[in-house]
Chain A
Amino acid sequence: MDLHARLEDVFRQVFDNDHLTLRDDMTATDIEGWDSVAHINLMFGIEQAFGVRFKGNELADMKNIGELKQFLSGKVTA
């Protein structure tokens, strides 16, 4: 599975939505239920799935999904 699909899987699980599709220009406001609790769950889910660790506000500071993917592809050794 490529990075996009793996990320989508994490989102689907956290937001309990089988049909959720990610686009690079999406932000937190585009996804229903992305509140502070979901944010923590999402961050944890991504860390576990990709074996990465976010620092401080890294995740919160990301502009959109595209930027998150860029960040992950830089950290993940495929």
Chain B
Amino acid sequence: MTPNGLTPAGQVTSADTPETRGDALLRQGLTQQAIESYLDAVTIPATASLCLKLARSYDRIGNHSEACRWALSIVDASDDYTTWQAGWTLFQRNAQRSAWPAARRVNVAIAGSYTTTQLGTLLRLAAARIGIQIDLYESPYGQYQQDIIDSGSTLYRFSPDIVLLTVHEGDLHLSEFSSNPAEEVQTEITRWTTLWNVVTNQSRARIVQHNFALPCDIPAGHLATRLPGSRYMMTQAVNTGLGQAAGSAVSIVDCERLSAFIGKQRWCDPRYWNMSKQAVALDALPLLARHTAAVIAADVGLSRKCLVLDLDNTLWGGVIAEDGLAGIQLGHGAEGEAFVAFQEYLLKLKRKGVILAVCSKNNHADAIQPFQQHPEMRLKLQDIALFVANWTSKPENIRAIADTLHIGLDSLVFVDDNPVERDIVRKFLPQVDVLPMPEDPAYYVRTLSQYLLLETASLTAEDSERTAQYQARAHIKALEASATSIEDFYRSLQMQALVTPFDETQLPRIAQLIGKTNQFNLTTRRHGMPQLEAFVGDTRYVHLALRLRDRYADHGLVSVMIARQDGNTLDIDTWLMSCRVIGRTVEATMLEHLCRRALQLGCTSIRGTYIPTPKNAMAAEAYPKQGFSRLDTTDGTETWMYDLQMNGSVTNPFVQSVDSWDPPHGER
């Protein structure tokens, strides 16, 4: 600027950046040139305002898919309310025109105690970012309880997959001070669990419940913490009680934690309550929407299973091949501590069931050295399900990782400090999600903890054993390569199966499998807990759960079959298998047991159905391979028949069926 504040024409000012040049071009109507200028300005992750400008510019020139892509990247870039709102408008308009793909469509009914219009919009944007298209219904203001209790209400006519209870502390029926807090708390917990039960009895919907953010303004002051009868302490007791009462059909969004995270003063702004009954300030809604979407993603089985980790400057500071074992930053000193903290956080995720893989451009010998010799390494080689260090491109290696671990690319998250590698992976493997890494390693943990796709709906015992199973699988891939015949290979695994009818303790795992298995799933019918319980109580149904182990690992409960007796025929309603054990003849074992049950019931044939989806092509051959013959094809749905009298029972020479897991493997 010149002293009089004017900029002479043609001179570049210090404020002249690719972004401001883009702004100027856009004002002149030169949209295409503006886009180029904006793209020059993009750092990774891009700022929210730049994402919005790019979305708007692409919208203007009619490039709908790019407009969608940039509108969605706003979710990663910031929690700014106004930008999110504008992003949603742009996304919605362009998604229709570009037929933007969604991995899942979910009907969400919002039953709320405050104005939820804004939250609904933001939730749809956050969900779209992670592949979920939400169709939305909102209960009329102040009527969420009636809407839930009345079985003929519009809420049920909407046939929701999820009923989202967006409620706030002011809605709790708790007195300011109670002389009998235990009873008052219990009454309030019962009010909520009753609503949950009503929903699950009247529909197939799952519940997502917002718990109660403690308020800013506490009349009892600091004394409140010493008084179990204060509303402050009773609210905490209700939160605890709801968490304990939530069965497998209920997920909780921890609003108390979110409000503390963003700050209570930002979370509650009384002006918005007074003006339009917004219990959560607009400023905090993007955070709430993001986390609610994350819980929904876990519910519908879209959470990611595996982190693919870079090494240099991701797990330690510096470059091992150049700096050497003594030169890398790890422990001791601020930067080194940041990497230790990141590794420790990764270990905790691993214990929760997240698989860790390594993908590094390094010589293998250099790459494993810190794992074997550096005293400050928290991650050990046995924590890594698959270790890939070579000079092949990352997309190619990541494909190989998915292939070896037998999981889809859409189960992977790529973690790399290098923005160029991140961009390449994003470009060549769009199914892989890329963690928007910050520059400062001190914030690696925070970024991962705020990441949307690592929520889990429930923690089963099997989750924490996953790494051992996946390691075993990688080992088996190597064996497979050396075995002379596939039969030799199957035999060398010494597989054993334990097949039982469903029992109570298995139901959460069975529901989890039914909810998330996409590939080997013949009918993709997503039965929930209530239906499963009904099948168990109904004698017309045959239900089988298969656990598999081999000489390397116990793979846990990996396959599920549900069939219904229909006269002389046993009709398979559901048959699925975890992709962990595909290609190991387990299918035949499952059918072997079904044949056994069919004969006991006096059935002479088994009927199977195959309903094709974009993801289950791998199951297309399941029936013909086992000797079924095709009966009919209608609208793509295939019906297959197995004649028990003519063909006899299916058998599998490679898997030994056992009646119990005792004695341990190999001691029979």
Q: CB within 8 Å of B: which residues of A?
A: 10, 13-14, 16, 18, 36-37, 40-41, 44-45, 48-49, 53-54, 56
Shortest distance from the beta carbon of B30 to any chain A beta carbon, whole Å: 14
Q: Cβ of A41 and Cβ of B56 under 8 Å apart? A: no
Distance between Cα atoms of A49 and B81 in the complex (Å): 12
B158 at the interface (CB under 8 A from A): no
The interface stretch among B85-93, B202-210, B390-398 is B85-93
**B282 contacts which chain A residues (CB < 8 A)?**
40-41, 44
Our pick among B56, B80, B118, B271 for the contact of A37 (Cβ within 8 Å) is B118
Q: Which residues B74-119 have CB closer than 8 A to chain A?
A: 80-83, 85-86, 89-90, 117-118
A36 with B276: in contact, given A18-B56, A41-B118, A44-B282 (CB under 8 Å)?
A: yes
A14 with B86: in contact, given A40-B278, A44-B81 (CB under 8 Å)?
A: yes
**B52 contacts which chain A residues (CB < 8 A)?**
13
**A36 contacts which chain B residues (CB < 8 A)?**
276
**B428 contacts which chain A residues (CB < 8 A)?**
none
Distance between Cα atoms of A53 and B81 in the complex (Å): 16
A-B contact count (CB 8 A): 40
Type the 1/0 row for B274-304, where 1 means its CB is closer than 8 Å to any CB of A: 1110100011000000000000000000000
Distance between Cα atoms of A40 and B119 in the complex (Å): 13
Shortest distance from the beta carbon of A78 to any chain B beta carbon, whole Å: 12
**A45 contacts which chain B residues (CB < 8 A)?**
82
Q: Cβ of B85 and Cβ of A41 under 8 Å apart? A: yes
Distance between Cα atoms of A53 and B281 in the complex (Å): 14
A14 with B82: in contact, given A40-B275, A40-B276, A40-B278 (CB under 8 Å)?
A: yes
**B117 contacts which chain A residues (CB < 8 A)?**
37
Type the 1/0 row for B36-49, where 1 means its CB is closer than 8 Å to any CB of A: 00000000000000
Distance between Cα atoms of A44 and B274 in the complex (Å): 14
Query: Please, could you name 28 A-B residue pairs with CB atoms under 8 Å apart, sorted by A?
Result: A10-B82, A13-B52, A13-B82, A13-B85, A14-B82, A14-B85, A14-B86, A16-B86, A16-B89, A18-B56, A18-B60, A36-B276, A37-B118, A40-B118, A40-B272, A40-B276, A40-B278, A41-B85, A41-B118, A41-B282, A44-B81, A44-B282, A44-B283, A45-B82, A48-B80, A48-B81, A49-B82, A54-B271
Q: Cβ of B276 and Cβ of A41 under 8 Å apart? A: no
Most buried by B among A14, A44, A48: A44
DSSP majority for the B interface?
helix
Which 7 residue pairs of A and B lie closest in terms of their CB atoms, listed nearest first? A16-B89, A45-B82, A13-B86, A44-B282, A37-B117, A40-B276, A41-B85
**B81 contacts which chain A residues (CB < 8 A)?**
44, 48
**A44 contacts which chain B residues (CB < 8 A)?**
81-82, 282-283
**A18 contacts which chain B residues (CB < 8 A)?**
56, 60
Tell me the nearest residue of chain B to A44, going by C-beta.
B282
Shortest distance from the beta carbon of B446 to any chain A beta carbon, whole Å: 23
Tell me the nearest residue of chain A to B282, going by C-beta.
A44
Distance between Cα atoms of A24 and B81 in the complex (Å): 27
Type the 1/0 row for B52-63, where 1 means its CB is closer than 8 Å to any CB of A: 100010001000
Shortest distance from the beta carbon of B171 to any chain A beta carbon, whole Å: 20
**B283 contacts which chain A residues (CB < 8 A)?**
44
Distance between Cα atoms of A76 and B326 in the complex (Å): 55
**A49 contacts which chain B residues (CB < 8 A)?**
82
Contacts A10-B82, A48-B81 known; list 15 others, CB within 8 Å: A13-B83, A13-B86, A14-B82, A14-B85, A36-B276, A37-B117, A40-B282, A41-B85, A41-B282, A44-B81, A45-B82, A48-B80, A48-B82, A54-B271, A56-B271
